[in-house]
Chains A and B, each alone.
Chain A
């Protein structure tokens, strides 16, 4: 992790849905930085604004105000071609429901972001093979999603998100649709990629287990950053970090104060 190099800067980001009486402020001026090689977790209760935040960074939503600066470029103002170019090249996105194109084989799914940006699967063959080996999906490369397990699908989706070597990997509840065994396998692999390749990952999750793999966690409540946890990767085990996360989550819920 390079503490000097900020890969992503989020400045005073707000997002307002609706108008007049229906106006809902999902994000209330959030600011934070993400450093290169960091594994950042975003946690919060349902409706706290964490997925809205991720979608604004992923350009799936246009923020009402504020800036999202990726590698020095304000991407919140992008439109049309620039937007399409940014997606798939500068960011990789991992969905909760995998969102693989079920009429394409795993290999074709993985190659899709490349071919959209002018690179054929043939040219990227070695990259696809090495990513597949790392994510343990070599055996299913020529299968359709309908013929794979949930874990395999999510790992294929991870390969697709990483194939174009994006600046940042955004993950929205990546373990949400997986069983505990496959969740662990996926998180081990993401963690390894983060560690070995210094890939920046930003992950939204409910799952304290998954969050314990992160190096830093931002807790969001009602559209604001409520708390931040940092893990000393060298000295603190994931189990110890997990305990701390659970404690904050209990406080985030307000303890008994919020029980009606």
Chain B
């Protein structure tokens, strides 16, 4: 009988409350997504090339897991509280019928466990599918879409997901049961009435509201202007002012709304006054939840923006060179002739890259003169201090032979450089599409030149970026691409820097890039030769992508879901507690459509109150983040970040609208329930 009742109640909870059940499934997905990170394609690959860094990241995961556990606890607590509040009368009845509290609590705990089991049965497959999707999508974003995908199934992830989920469910239930334990049956039977509205002093509210606004403005100002100093005190002041400001703002908002309602109510029609008072009541009684949700949303937006920009910053570029081999020509020739290696190679060529001879920098006879180039850079306008920074720091110490660079361009299918005897081109690997690149390009447009040994060499207006070696972690700030004869004259080292190898396209098409590179890797490893590989190089980049981008996006999405669920559930709890008001409204002549419109308006205003503050604060936070303690990685085009942010913001808006409509539908169901009772 007891277990039958448990099963029946749990089923009723699930059917009657999609939002509650949805929250549980979200919690499961959140846990598993994080915990299965180690099993994802990208991470499995990284573990083979960057095992130390991956081990460090994996050591960080339990901390993030505990943080998620804490936040998911909020989510599940509110979901369970919403559920429990709607059953207070039922609990009161059980107690009145003689059920012991201990038995009631045992029943609730069993229901929780049963619901957990069902949620896990549904949530885990969804989580598995989602993580597979994320795995594929991440691989694609970072340029590894070509890598063979393996289905990952993390037993470790499942174990800790189940454990964490049941723990937060039971903890939430424990807190709710403590509350129920203190309530008398009569209180329970009376059902949770809304807190009584009190007249909050208009003056006090206005002061609080103004103080909140003031603190927020101080936080924005300090963040945007003083965070560059990276002082701990400034950071503390910004965080404290931000939190205090948000809480005070919402604390005072209720009274502030009250003043507005008083002014407007004499002219109100329909349910306008009622709608406004409902919103005001929610703000008055739930100002802390609103502040917490707003802060969570702000953190979510900041985390997601950070993650996206880091993600783009580290994304892989075009594949110009697969391997760079280092050694004497004979050694390299011997290796490349080996069976098993020879057939995998499409092209192999020496890269002539060297530092410029020391005598050119001794200041004699202006042997290496960049003054015209600097002059041209100095005329570029609209980039502020950046131009001066470049002028101060610009140095060209390397030269690349034209023939070597043309082979790279040829392999990429790009047009080769054609240099006459008195021409050179500029190469940089740091600035594709960034301000640095744009300034240089503008300067090169002005027909500038460098002087070598008293001869002016005209610099081509195009700037060259394509990587010259396999390892992307090696950056060459600036180099001069010169005709081969001039290279021989200028170069400190006459020998090739390395031999660049490009794998056969057929092999790559057949096996996928990763497996092809790994096959070659295995062959080369046996030879004992020093070499870099394309994937080894991007491995390091990938690690930053995953560590910075993935985790911050994960936390961002988690904060976002929790904030939305808290706002939604808080509203629905409030609506359920004031259900009798809608019955009264029906008696006073309000029809169902009018009441549904009022509810829609209430939900929209309620969400907007949280979202508007969060959006403004997050705009300030994101601005602070990218102008102060973290910079967009060099070479990240601001337009790409802006476009992606706009896309992310659109997704954000769409999901918010979906969320609002889910809450509205749940609220409408309550209202329509009134008519059924009314006209049975």
Contact = CB atoms under 8 A, between A and B. Distances in A.
Given A116-B594, A144-B196, A101 B584 contact: yes
Nearest to A80: B591
Interface string A105-126: 0011001110111111110010
A116 B277 contact: no
Contacts of A33: none
A217 B184 CA distance: 41
B267 A122 contact: yes
B278 A60 contact: no
B268 interface: yes
Contacts of A108: 265, 273-274, 277
Nearest to B589: A88
Contact of B269 (A60, A107, A118, A147): A118
Secondary structure call for the B interface: helix
B589 A62 contact: no
A89 B590 CA distance: 11
Given A112-B273, A118-B269, A147-B199, A103 B590 contact: no
A84 B199 contact: no
B322 to A, nearest CB: 70
Contacts of A119: 269
Contacts of B265: 107-108, 111, 121
B589 A146 contact: no
Contacts, number: 109
A88 B588 contact: yes
Contacts of A93: 587-588
Contact of B266 (A101, A121, A143, A146): A121
A53 to B, nearest CB: 16
A228 interface: no
A199 interface: no
A133 B270 CA distance: 25
Contact of A84 (B196, B580, B583, B589): B589
Contacts of B194: 102-103
Contacts of A118: 269-270
Contacts of B281: 103
B278 A103 contact: yes
A87 B197 contact: no
A249 B382 CA distance: 96
B385 interface: no
Given A103-B281, A120-B269, A113 B589 contact: yes
A155 interface: no
Interface string B512-544: 000000000000000000000000000000000
B4 interface: no
Contacts of A125: 266
Contacts of A83: 591
Contact of A60 (B268, B594, B678): B678
Interface in B573-631: 578, 580-581, 583-591, 594
Interface in A47-77: 58, 60-62
Nearest to B679: A62
Contacts of A107: 265
A85 interface: yes
A208 interface: no
Given A88-B589, A147-B199, A104 B267 contact: no
A84 B269 contact: no
A23 B28 CA distance: 48
B674 to A, nearest CB: 11
Nearest to B583: A99
B272 interface: yes
A121 B265 CA distance: 7
A216 interface: no
Given A112-B273, A115-B268, A125-B266, A146 B196 contact: yes
B188 interface: no
Nearest to B584: A99
A61 B197 CA distance: 31
A81 interface: yes
Contacts of B197: 102-103, 144-146
Contacts of A62: 679-680
A160 interface: yes
A13 to B, nearest CB: 16
Given A60-B678, A62-B679, A104-B274, A87 B269 contact: no
Contacts of A81: 591
Given A115-B269, A120-B267, A144 B198 contact: yes
B586 A87 contact: yes
A87 B268 contact: no
A117 B199 contact: no
A198 to B, nearest CB: 23
Contacts of A103: 194, 197, 277-278, 280-281, 578, 581
A113 B589 CA distance: 7
Interface string B650-680: 0000000000000000000000000000111
Which of A80, A112, A121, A160 is the most central at the interface, judged by chain B CB atoms within 10 Å of its CB? A112
Interface in A21-64: 58, 60-62
Contact of B272 (A115, A117, A146, A147): A115
Given A102-B197, A103-B280, A120-B266, A88 B274 contact: no
Nearest to A121: B266
B496 interface: no
B334 to A, nearest CB: 87
Contacts of B678: 60
Contacts of B583: 99
B430 to A, nearest CB: 61
B273 A143 contact: no
Contacts of B272: 115
Contacts of B580: 99
B84 interface: no
Contacts of B590: 84, 88, 116
B271 interface: yes
A117 B587 contact: no
A104 B587 CA distance: 16
Nearest to A114: B269
A62 to B, nearest CB: 5
A144 to B, nearest CB: 5
A116 B588 contact: yes
B273 A104 contact: yes
A116 B587 CA distance: 11
B299 to A, nearest CB: 32
Interface in A141-158: 143-147
A83 B273 CA distance: 22
A26 to B, nearest CB: 13
Interface centre among A62, A87, A107 (most CB of B within 10 A): A87
A125 B265 CA distance: 12
A165 to B, nearest CB: 13
24 contacts: A84-B590, A84-B594, A86-B589, A87-B586, A88-B588, A88-B589, A95-B587, A99-B584, A101-B277, A104-B273, A107-B265, A108-B265, A111-B265, A115-B270, A115-B273, A116-B590, A118-B269, A120-B269, A121-B267, A143-B199, A144-B196, A145-B196, A146-B197, A160-B588
Which 5 interchain pairs have the tightest Cβ spacing?
A88-B589, A84-B591, A146-B196, A122-B266, A87-B589
Interface of B: 194, 196-199, 265-274, 277-278, 280-281, 578, 580-581, 583-591, 594, 678-680
Given A103-B281, A108-B265, A146-B197, 5 more contacts: A80-B591, A100-B584, A113-B588, A118-B270, A143-B199
